Chains A and B, each alone.
Chain A
Amino acid sequence: MPNMQQNKTPMRELDPMERRRNFEEVACGYNEEEALNEAERCLNCKNRPCVNGCPVNVRIPDFIAKIKEKDYAGAYKIIKDTNSLPAVCGRVCPQENQCEKFCVRGIKGESVGIGRLERFAADYFMKNCKDEKKEITKNHIKCAVVGSGPAGLTCAGDLAAAGFDVTVFEALHTAGGVLMYGIPQFRLPKEIVAKEIDSLRDMGVEFVEDTVVGKTELIDELFEEGYKAVFIGSGAGLPSFMGIEGETLNGVFAANEVLTRINLMKGYKFPETDTPVYIGKKVAVVGGGNVAMDAARCSMRMGAENVYIVYRRSMEEIPARAEEIEHAKMEGIEFKMLTNPTKILDDGNGNIAGMECVKMELGEPDASGRRRPVVIEGSEYVMDVDTVIIAIGQSPNPLIRNTTEGLETNKRGCIVVNEETMQTSLDGVYAGGDAVTGAATVILAMGAGKAAAKAIKEKLL
């Protein structure tokens, strides 16, 4: 008999008042008992709507069935079959919009905690088992992957499994892309990302760090060096600014800078590490996405007294995951909705004296279908802050498109691809992830990496 409990088995979390001052992982994961309890909630239904909701089509009911049988390594292997990064996805996928959205149990009550079970299986495997060396028959065809974020890692993993000689080029000094520089330690421990990457190394994937494709190495040169296909997964790393007065004052940062200093450079351990991070006492984070939540929660952990999320629309439209918003609130982050910054004030020494904002109200729906925020006349006021972090979005980096003749991009700078094969306007060149879509999610990028690997296999084998 399935467990008919209406709600998900809760996941233990660190105490909000303690965790908001450290970088320990917030969500503790299920123990065996909790995992078994949750697994029993899965009805193993015939039409498996959850699988179609997953961009990489993890065989969800099958892996949950393995958990029920206490064959946790078996569960992991089923996930790993279609998903190169189970421990990552179990933590950062927006399951509520994907697999769990379609779960039959969600009709009456809460859906099965698929993400939590995925994390359980992955963590169990990492702790207790070792990947068996699978004998892969090499086909000696060279493929290059540009960027080692979720799209690139997935593409590399699938190609390596099919026998290709895969080289991944990474601009930074550490592989992992946004999983390393962007998503903070307390949501996704870097040790876990490193382990997932090591498992790709074990499959024979070669990682070449410190190589900026578009500068150190050009796409055309990769073909000259014998690569038969190139996958571009260079992400969307170029931060947008608001273009308001005072944005170059000291104490105004792109969220990317703050997150990179803290996550990639381990600035939270300064001066044990060499990279400083400046976060004042009163911090405004402008924007409402997951990056904004990460920047706000990092600011709190760096010792800020007040941290505000400043967003021009309402709680209804806010794009961040509900779970992230909930976690942020529990940690004492204050949400200033329907508020838009108009000017950052100078204290006379080039530092921030405050941020002038206007209040907004929602008008008619705009092109995005969301109600357009409209300024309320005469509502200007000054928010008392000494640090402003801009998290209003990122666009793809121009280095590759500027140095690759014939690579078609759209007006937002995103690479144009055939949506099925992920092939670009150039023969043998594929692209996927944020470089194509603009800033989106880890799992969508992985889906794209997978689709590209499939197309490359079909073309070259």
Chain B
Amino acid sequence: MFEIVEKLTLNSQVKLMSVKAPKIAEKAQAGQFIILRIDENGERIPLTISDYDREKGLVTIIFQEVGATTKRLGMLEKGDFIQNFVGPLGRASELEGLKKVCVIGGGLGTAIAYPQAKALHDMGAVVDGVTGFRNKDLIILEDEMSKVCRNLYIATDDGSNGNKGFVTNILQKLIDDGEDYDAVIAIGPLVMMRAVAEVTRPKGIKTIVSMNSIMIDGTGMCGGCRVIVGGETKFACVDGPDFDGHLVDFETAMRRGNMYKAMEREADCNLMKAGEQNA
């Protein structure tokens, strides 16, 4: 059992939890993830490690309440326990040697982009941050990102923060203005990562994306997380989750992401019914 020692609400849909998991905290690196299961009947879901504290033995996860499991997770409070919590899984991001990087986070993806920006900053690299949200109320991790970025640009779809547009508009402008990044790291919805990869492709700027696929075990066993990269089938859990954004087949990935949508709604309805009964 793994104790939740801190819980914060970052915006109306996004929550942060720090979980006591010393073994995982000891080894965690930017880009890796954990798999958790709330209770005996729960499903296993992957969540990226967004921060860790080796001394206190804490692992931080940030999640958006999109499905039955994340909604139930959001209902847990500080002092509650999560039944299973395993990791760190996946390969750590390969940040070695990067000197100047643009780190892009779209919505919740910012939570995954942050540890990478932080790791790069700690290595002494120059980091520009670009994050995008639907509106200003959904902005997360602004302070944290500001601390590790030379410049942080925040865009909103509706312009409610005074900067209307998409992360790609900002990236395009930075590149046009002559910023010569060694790499662009983009984490967010698949459509966003695909769009970023198209912006960087003409100049051949190395682009790393993080594939948050459907998975069960997270150790290479189920094959559910397979993605096509450069025409080859890869498993996001053991070969990734980071891949070359110019080689990822995003069309297939988007389709696979929707695989269980209908059944997810069924589980969701059940959760709501259960909630009503308990109320």
On chain B, the number of residues with a Cβ less than 8 Å from chain A's Cβ atoms is: 42
Determine whether the beta carbon of A260 is less than 8 Å from that of B89.
Answer: no
Chain B residue with minimal CB distance to A277?
B263
Q: Does B270 contact A (CB under 8 A)?
A: yes
What per-residue 1/0 map shows which CB atoms of A241-270 lie under 8 Å from chain B? 101000111100110110011001110011
Task: Please provide the chain B residues from 74 to 91 with a CB less than 8 Å away from any CB of chain A in the complex.
Answer: 83-89
User: A349: which B residues are within 8 A, CB to CB?
Assistant: 255
Q: Does A239 contact B (CB under 8 A)?
A: yes
User: A184: which B residues are within 8 A, CB to CB?
Assistant: none
Quote the shortest CB–CB distance from B275 to chain A (angstroms): 14
Chain B residue with minimal CB distance to A247?
B233
Determine whether the beta carbon of B256 is less than 8 Å from that of A248.
Answer: yes
Among B216, B227, B252, contact of A260 (Cβ-Cβ < 8 Å): B216
| Interface class of chain A by DSSP | loop
> In whole angstroms, how far apart are the Cα atoms of A189 and B7 in the complex?
39
> In whole angstroms, how far apart are the Cα atoms of A432 and B86 in the complex?
25
User: A272: which B residues are within 8 A, CB to CB?
Assistant: 41
Among A243, A271, A273, A350, contact of B255 (Cβ-Cβ < 8 Å): A350
Among A256, A275, A276, contact of B221 (Cβ-Cβ < 8 Å): A256
User: B228: which A residues are within 8 A, CB to CB?
Assistant: 248
Q: Does A397 contact B (CB under 8 A)?
A: yes
> In whole angstroms, how far apart are the Cα atoms of A274 and B37 in the complex?
10
Determine whether the beta carbon of B255 is less than 8 Å from that of A209.
Answer: no
User: A256: which B residues are within 8 A, CB to CB?
Assistant: 221-223
Quote the shortest CB–CB distance from B29 to chain A (angstroms): 11
* Tally of contacts, chain A with chain B, CB under 8 A: 122
User: A398: which B residues are within 8 A, CB to CB?
Assistant: 220, 238
Determine whether the beta carbon of B233 is less than 8 Å from that of A254.
Answer: no
User: B263: which A residues are within 8 A, CB to CB?
Assistant: 270, 276, 278
Quote the shortest CB–CB distance from A435 to chain B (angstroms): 13
> In whole angstroms, how far apart are the Cα atoms of A241 and B270 in the complex?
35
Interface hit among A45-53, A72-80, A211-219, A284-292: A211-219
Determine whether the beta carbon of A171 is less than 8 Å from that of B260.
Answer: no
User: A275: which B residues are within 8 A, CB to CB?
Assistant: 43-44, 216
Q: Does A433 contact B (CB under 8 A)?
A: no
Among A181, A238, A264, contact of B220 (Cβ-Cβ < 8 Å): A238
Q: Does B58 contact A (CB under 8 A)?
A: no
Determine whether the beta carbon of A238 is less than 8 Å from that of B221.
Answer: yes
Q: Does B147 contact A (CB under 8 A)?
A: no
Q: Does B246 contact A (CB under 8 A)?
A: no
Determine whether the beta carbon of A215 is less than 8 Å from that of B41.
Answer: no
> In whole angstroms, how far apart are the Cα atoms of A271 and B88 in the complex?
29
> In whole angstroms, how far apart are the Cα atoms of A247 and B228 in the complex?
10
Among B37, B224, B227, B249, contact of A253 (Cβ-Cβ < 8 Å): B224
Determine whether the beta carbon of B43 is less than 8 Å from that of A215.
Answer: no
What per-residue 1/0 map shows which CB atoms of A152-194 lie under 8 Å from chain B? 0000000000000000000111000000010000000000000
Most chain-B Cβ atoms within 10 A of its Cβ — which of A209, A257, A266? A257
Quote the shortest CB–CB distance from A208 to chain B (angstroms): 10
User: B86: which A residues are within 8 A, CB to CB?
Assistant: 171, 173, 210-212, 216
User: B69: which A residues are within 8 A, CB to CB?
Assistant: 274
Most chain-B Cβ atoms within 10 A of its Cβ — which of A210, A265, A350? A210
Quote the shortest CB–CB distance from B97 to chain A (angstroms): 21
Quote the shortest CB–CB distance from A250 to chain B (angstroms): 5
Determine whether the beta carbon of B267 is less than 8 Å from that of A209.
Answer: no
On chain A, the number of residues with a Cβ less than 8 Å from chain B's Cβ atoms is: 43
Determine whether the beta carbon of B222 is less than 8 Å from that of A257.
Answer: yes
Quote the shortest CB–CB distance from A343 to chain B (angstroms): 15
Task: Please provide the chain A residues from 217 to 242 with a CB less than 8 Å away from any CB of chain B in the complex.
Answer: 217, 237-239, 241
Determine whether the beta carbon of B85 is less than 8 Å from that of A210.
Answer: yes
> In whole angstroms, how far apart are the Cα atoms of A163 and B14 in the complex?
51
> In whole angstroms, how far apart are the Cα atoms of A253 and B27 in the complex?
32
User: B89: which A residues are within 8 A, CB to CB?
Assistant: 212, 215
Q: Does A330 contact B (CB under 8 A)?
A: no
Task: Please provide the chain B residues from 217 to 276 with a CB less than 8 Å away from any CB of chain A in the complex.
Answer: 217, 219-224, 226-228, 233, 238, 249, 252, 255-256, 258-260, 263-264, 266-267, 270
Q: Does B24 contact A (CB under 8 A)?
A: yes
Q: Does A322 contact B (CB under 8 A)?
A: no
Chain B residue with minimal CB distance to A248?
B252
Q: Does A141 contact B (CB under 8 A)?
A: no
Determine whether the beta carbon of A260 is less than 8 Å from that of B222.
Answer: yes
Quote the shortest CB–CB distance from A404 to chain B (angstroms): 15
Task: Please provide the chain B residues from 49 to 95 with a CB less than 8 Å away from any CB of chain A in the complex.
Answer: 68-69, 83-89
Q: Does A426 contact B (CB under 8 A)?
A: no
User: B217: which A residues are within 8 A, CB to CB?
Assistant: 171-172, 237, 260
> In whole angstroms, how far apart are the Cα atoms of A171 and B249 in the complex?
30
Quote the shortest CB–CB distance from B39 to chain A (angstroms): 9
Determine whether the beta carbon of A211 is less than 8 Å from that of B221.
Answer: no
> In whole angstroms, how far apart are the Cα atoms of A274 and B83 in the complex?
14
Quote the shortest CB–CB distance from A134 to chain B (angstroms): 31
> In whole angstroms, how far apart are the Cα atoms of A261 and B224 in the complex?
11
Q: Does B204 contact A (CB under 8 A)?
A: no
> In whole angstroms, how far apart are the Cα atoms of A215 and B89 in the complex?
7
User: B226: which A residues are within 8 A, CB to CB?
Assistant: 241, 248
Q: Does B23 contact A (CB under 8 A)?
A: yes
Chain B residue with minimal CB distance to A170?
B86
Chain A residue with minimal CB distance to B83?
A173
Determine whether the beta carbon of A237 is less than 8 Å from that of B221.
Answer: yes
Q: Does B42 contact A (CB under 8 A)?
A: yes
Determine whether the beta carbon of B219 is less than 8 Å from that of A211.
Answer: no
Determine whether the beta carbon of B88 is less than 8 Å from that of A274.
Answer: no
Q: Given A216-B86, A216-B88, A398-B238, do A274 and B42 touch, yes or no (CB 8 Å)?
A: yes
> In whole angstroms, how far apart are the Cα atoms of A398 and B252 in the complex?
25
Determine whether the beta carbon of A216 is less than 8 Å from that of B87.
Answer: yes
Q: Does A399 contact B (CB under 8 A)?
A: yes
> In whole angstroms, how far apart are the Cα atoms of A249 and B259 in the complex?
10
> In whole angstroms, how far apart are the Cα atoms of A217 and B223 in the complex?
23
Determine whether the beta carbon of A248 is less than 8 Å from that of B24.
Answer: no
Determine whether the beta carbon of A239 is less than 8 Å from that of B44.
Answer: no
User: A257: which B residues are within 8 A, CB to CB?
Assistant: 216, 222-224
Further contacts, 15 of them, CB under 8 A, given A272-B41, A349-B255? A210-B85, A212-B86, A217-B23, A249-B255, A253-B224, A256-B223, A261-B222, A265-B43, A271-B267, A275-B44, A276-B264, A278-B260, A350-B255, A350-B256, A399-B238
Q: List 26 A-B contacts (CB under 8 A).
A: A172-B217, A173-B37, A173-B86, A211-B23, A211-B86, A212-B87, A215-B87, A215-B88, A215-B219, A239-B223, A241-B226, A248-B228, A249-B255, A250-B255, A254-B224, A257-B222, A257-B224, A261-B222, A270-B267, A273-B41, A273-B42, A274-B42, A275-B43, A276-B266, A397-B220, A398-B220
In the A-B complex, the 3 residue pairs with the smallest Cβ-Cβ separation, listed nearest first, are A254-B223, A276-B263, A350-B255
